[in-house]
Structures are given as C-alpha cells and as structure tokens.
Amino acid sequence: MKLKNYILGRWIEGSGAGQDLFNAVTGEVIASASTTGISFEEVLVYGRNVGNKNLRNMTFHERGRMIKELALHLHSKKDLFYQLSWATGATKMDSWIDIEGGIGNLFAYSSLRRQFPDTPFCVDGDAVPMSKGGTFSATHIMTPKTGVAVHINAYNFPIWGMLEKIAVNLLAGVPAVVKPATVTSYLTELMVQEIHKSKILPEGALQLIVGSARGIIEHVDMQDVVTFTGSAYTGRQLKSNPNVINNSVPFNLEADSLNAAVLGEDAVPGTPEFDIFVKEVSREMTVKAGQKCTAIRRILVPQNLVGEVQEAVSARLAKTLVGDPQVDGVRMGSLAGLDQREEVFEKVNLLAGSQEIVFGSLDTVNVTGADTKTGAFMSPILMYNDRPFEKTDVHNTEAFGPVSTILPYNNMEEAIKLTQMGLGSLVTSITTANNQIATDFVMGAAAYNGRILINNRDSAKESTGHGSPMPMLTHGGPGRAGGGEEMGGKRGVFHYMQRTSLQGSPTTLGAITKVYQPGGKYLETPVHVFRKHFEELQIGETVHTHKRTITETDIVNFANVSWDHFYAHTDVTSLDGTIFEKRVAHGYFILSAAAGLFVDPGKGPVLLNYGLEECRFTKPVYAGATIGVRLTVKEKVLQEKREDDDFRKGIVKFLVDVYDETGETVALATILTMVKTIDQS
C-alpha cells in the first residue's frame, strides 16, 4: 500500500516506489511513502491563498467550536487509530497518550476560545494613554498571520505530535502543513483521512505530506511559521537555512534533551517520596520504550542512596514484560523501527565507555509474543556514572530509548550543577517533601529548564507526571532543548499571530478593536442599556447616572451590615500617621452604591451579573462627597447555547467609572453581565 499526501484539496500519491515503512513489532512492510513530483511551493501557496483566507475570516469562537467538533468526531473514531497504533510498537497505554492525549489537546484549545473575543482578532493588554488631554492613545492587537504553519514532527508521537500543534494554529486562524516523520506516518495518514471525511475543517486548513519534505524550507516566507520537533542537529540545520534567516521566518525548535529527575536528600527509603521517585523513573524509562522527548535520561541521587535506588529501579525494570503490545501483560513494546534501535545501541555503546551498565543488556532481551530478529525490541538499560563531573558523556549524549543513568551528588549545589550540565532541558523533576529543598532547587535550575515538576506525597496521586506536557503550559526549553515554546495556552496561540501597536484617538481605536478605549467618546441613547438585548447594545454606549452624596451614616451602616470594621472606616482616633484625613467610605460600599445608581431595576434582557474584573479604588471617598457613575459598554462576546432549552445570550462587559464632585475617578471596575439576545433560534 502506498500512502497518499493530502495536498491542494485532494489525495495525491508521490511517484516512484517510495520509502518502505515497517511494522515495528513484526518487521513486515506495511506501506510505502513518496513525495516525488510534488511541488512544495504550490502546497504552501495553496495554504496561504485558500486555507488562510477561510480560517482568518472566522472568529475565535467559530474556530474553537470547529476544533471541538473535530475532537468529538476523532474521539468517536479512536478505535481505528488504536488498531493501527500497535504497529508502531506502542502498548495500549502508549497509544492512549498518543491518541487520546492528542484529542485532549483539541478539547483544551476549543475551550480556550472563551478567553478570546468573538472576533477574528484580539486586543492584547491594556490601553496606553499617550497624551495629557486623553485624545491620543495606543493599544496592541493580535491578528492572524497570512501564511501557513509548517509542522515537521518526530516519529515517536505520530498523532499527538500533529494534534497538539494544529489545535493552536487553527484557533489562531492559520492553516497547517503537517510533515510527520516518515517511519510512522501511516498512523498520521489514517487520522487525516478521518479528518478529511468529516468535512469539519474548511478547505485548505490542513495538508499532509507523508514522505520526504526536503526543500520545503526553501519556500517559506515571513508570514509562515515553522515548527520542528526532533534532533537538535537537524533542527539547527533547518533553523539556519538562509531562507529562514533572510526572511525572519518564525521558527520554533523543540529538540530532544537530557532531562533529569532529582531525588531530594530527605527522600530516604521508607518515605513515600522514595517510592514515588522509583516508580516515576521506572515508568518514564519504559513508556513508549523511552522514546519521549521528555524522558528521564539522568537520575540524580544523593551519594548515600545510590545503592538503594539502583536496587529498587532494577527490581521494577525486571518485572517489566517486553514484547508484542497486543499480548496481555506486556508493559513495554518495541522501538519505532530497527534503524531507531541501531541508533540507540550506538549511543549506549558510546556511553558505556565512561559508565557502567548495571541493569539490562544490548545482547539479550526476553520478548513475549514476538521475535527480536524482526521486531525492534531491546532491554531497558540502567547505567551508573560514579564521577559525573568528570565523565561527561552522559551530559552530552542521548540514547533515545529505554536508557537512563544514575548520577550521585553530595549536596543540593551539586545537584543543581549537574542539572545545568545538560545545557538546557525540556523538563526536570525533583521529588522532595522539604519545601526549602524544592525552593533552592527551582531557583538554581529554572533558567535551564522549560518545566520543573515538584512531586511529593501531597501531589503524587493527581500529578500528571514528569513526562506529560500539558496544553495550557509552555512545552519547550532553553539551550539544547531548542529555545522554543509549544502549546502554552494563549501564549501559544500568539505564536501564529502578529502583534501590532495602534496609535490614535481612543474613539477610533475603540471602533477598530471592538473594545471601548478609556477616553473615547461616549455614545448616549435614550434607552437604558439594561433595557436592551445583546444585539442592540453598541460599544461605547454610556449611561450617566444620577448623583448620590455619601454620609457618615452610610459608612457606619455598611460597616454593621458587612462586619467590615477596619479602623479607617470606624475609628477616627486611629488615623494619625495614615493616608486618611477622616473616616473613609468602604471601597466595596462605593461600588455597591454605584450599582444602586446604574442598575435599572425592572425585568428585562439582562439575566444576571456574574463577575467583576479589574476592580480598583483610586481615591478615598469621605462623608460629604457626591458620586456619580458612567456605565459604558466595553466589550461584547456572544455565547453558544449549551442545551436546547437554554437561553441564547451573550456576555457584555461594562466599564464602571465612579467619579466624585470634582470629576475625578474614585473607583473603576469592569462588570460582566449575561444578556439575552433577540434571536433565540
């Protein structure tokens, strides 16, 4: 069977015989892949002209709902992917990480839409006043880039590697060209077939290249974004391509790194932390047969605990059944292929020149339900380096398989230094119940890591583990790890968008951004804003309320009702040496009084007030002051109906500007209200 490329809106076979792809368990040829005859320039142009136009015109909420629909569809088809995933050497648990972990990323990013407005772009940060009179202001907006995201992925996660990346660029409004590693691309192709059949994504939003993509980097431009996951050497070659440099093409490099796990000095045998550490190290060595960019390569252990850790980890590894992932009880499958195994063997032999193998062997491995001659199986390998500051191969060479090395340290300073000698990691974990040890380690090691997991008896039960990048957290690391960032919630979405500063009149900026800018002109209408449906409200529409004079009685009564008897509100004899001249009104009373002024009490389209943002009190209010309120429509976000009998509604953010008799603002807040729409269909 020859795999097909999904490009230019159709499935296309590359010409020629192509590269054979093998079942990692049986060694049988299961497919071939070729891109011969395909113009990568045409692929990119099609993505820019068709896919980008279709996506960038959608709002964040439309894109988010699209991603959610895709996630639901793929989840309903997950059994198809499990059936084929075993051919990559993956166990059921390995496949769960790849398949359902990837689909989980789609769900996570679909939910992230709620942190964005219902527009194709978004405002980033607060407005910046730039003039004394308030007539000249600035803000920042984020708009989708007009190019494509080119994702060059590794072989270890053929599904997760694709989905965790496209979830982000699709929400940003940018299409993707996905190039999975050829050796396991048959699984990626199967999923893209199901994506295509679903017709959920608009035309051009996703293209797939299953063979070699050599030369594609020559055709990217400054509006494209390239992401690469794999070896640091290959990543650096691509990143240094003259076309990438000359056109300042954004390039996100996530490279395999020499990640570490540290056992705290307090985590001695008999403590929960010791057991947690041993279990985590053993698991990370064998999950995906150690073929994870986040796998633990260096096991940092207090010198006096080396023997106990070596014995405990070896005992767990000895119980790990290696073999055909389809056989009950098998806990570790094969590597992705024989070529990958040979590469791991080569690196282990190199490491063995400066350190000792204390568990496992390259020569023999007991395999259940398969043949070691045809399947890419190997034994877990645990090594020991007695002088890690002198024998430094372990800090420079990675065997990308079930291989890890125990390194002794004498104090936390040494543990931090050994971690740093990896010259940049995706993740390091430390297992300790001592918060001071944890603090000292984080402060010393954070600059060398993209993520640090602190694990102990309090968190272990619900911890996602050393090797699990999470959608809303940044995945990447400095130095050897590539210096890139993937996922990361809103931060990740912004990688595919252009930040542009806008300067001008606050009124004009509000019209452009669909967010009221402080200092902008007020739009006054005869009907109170609480009497209007969601569609009828306009950005900048403002209610100027009646006035109210604050009295001593108000302050005393609020103290009695709220039980807030802070001295500044109740004890005028304690004000010497404070910023207050006399008894001051409670800030929350001022806000409550403001609500009494701006709320229209009759039943209407406003369903409820459910939140408060950016509340601050800017000037003391004393008895005798007279306050008024300017209530302005700041931003509108339409919500989708969750149930058939649910109201169709939107969220309206109102800017509450409370001012005194001098015209000076005394309190500012943003209230969130839920408002019915006219159209309830």
Quote the pLDDT of residue 18. Answer: 87
Q: How confident is the model at residue 191 (pLDDT cuts 50, 70, 90)?
A: very high
Q: Is residue 79 part of a domain?
A: yes
Strand duo 122-123 + 137-144: pairing: antiparallel
Signed CA dihedral, 543, 671, 494, 639: sign only? negative
Rounded to whole angstroms, how far apart are CA atoms 206 and 681? 32
Rounded to whole angstroms, how far apart are CA atoms 388 and 421? 10
Q: Is residue 271 part of a domain?
A: yes
What would the mean pLDDT of 550-562 be, rounded to a whole number?
95
Domain termination site, one of 428, 455, 482: 455
**What's 267-296 look like in SS3?**
CCCCCHHHHHHHHHHHHHHHHHHHCCCCCE
DSSP secondary structure of 464-483: --TT---TTSEEEESGGG-S
Quote the pLDDT of residue 81. Answer: 96
Q: Is residue 339 part of a domain?
A: yes
Co-location of 146 and 191 in the same domain: yes
Q: How confident is the model at residue 104 (pLDDT cuts 50, 70, 90)?
A: very high
Q: How confident is the model at residue 132 (pLDDT cuts 50, 70, 90)?
A: confident
Q: How many domains does the chain have?
A: 3
Q: Is residue 396 part of a domain?
A: yes
Does the pLDDT of residue 34 top 90, yes or no? yes
Signed CA dihedral, 624, 625, 628, 634: sign only? negative
- DSSP state letter for 461: T
CATH of the domain at 630: 3.10.129.10
Quote the pLDDT of residue 644. Answer: 66
Does the pLDDT of residue 75 top 90, yes or no? yes
Co-location of 263 and 252 in the same domain: no
Q: Is residue 504 part of a domain?
A: no
Q: Is residue 514 part of a domain?
A: no
Co-location of 532 and 418 in the same domain: no
Q: Is residue 111 part of a domain?
A: yes
What would the mean pLDDT of 6-28 be, rounded to a whole number?
92
Contacts (Cβ under 8 Å, ≥6 apart) of 659: 627, 628, 629, 630, 665, 666
Quote the pLDDT of residue 370. Answer: 92
Quote the pLDDT of residue 631. Answer: 96
Co-location of 206 and 267 in the same domain: no
Q: What is the set of active-site residues?
A: 254, 293
Co-location of 422 and 532 in the same domain: no
Tokens at 627, concatenated:
């306050």
Rounded to whole angstroms, how far apart are CA atoms 444 and 413? 8
Range of the structural domain that residue 151 is part of: 5-256+491-497
Does the pLDDT of residue 533 top 70, yes or no? yes
Rounded to whole angstroms, how far apart are CA atoms 55 and 143? 12
Angle between helices 587-598 and 552-562 (to 10 degrees): 100
Rounded to whole angstroms, how far apart are CA atoms 357 and 403? 10
Co-location of 298 and 378 in the same domain: yes
Quote the pLDDT of residue 423. Answer: 94
- DSSP state letter for 201: S
Q: How confident is the model at residue 175 (pLDDT cuts 50, 70, 90)?
A: very high
What is the tens place of the pLDDT at every residue in 399-453? 999 999 999 999 999 999 999 999 999 999 999 999 999 999 999 999 999 999 9
Co-location of 128 and 250 in the same domain: yes
Output the CA–CA distances (angstroms, integers) from residue 681 to 1, 4, 479, 607, 648, in the order listed.
48, 42, 54, 18, 7
Co-location of 333 and 352 in the same domain: yes
Co-location of 104 and 252 in the same domain: yes
Mean pLDDT over the full length of the chain:
94
What is the tens place of the pLDDT at every residue in 495-518? 999 999 999 999 999 999 999 998
Co-location of 264 and 220 in the same domain: no
CATH of the domain at 199: 3.40.605.10
Quote the pLDDT of residue 7. Answer: 96
- DSSP state letter for 529: G
CATH of the domain at 441: 3.40.309.10
Co-location of 225 and 276 in the same domain: no
Co-location of 590 and 607 in the same domain: yes
Rounded to whole angstroms, how far apart are CA atoms 509 and 503? 8
Q: Which residue has the tokens 């590269």?
A: 19
What is the tens place of the pLDDT at every residue in 41-73? 999 999 999 999 999 999 999 999 999 999 999
Q: Is residue 503 part of a domain?
A: no
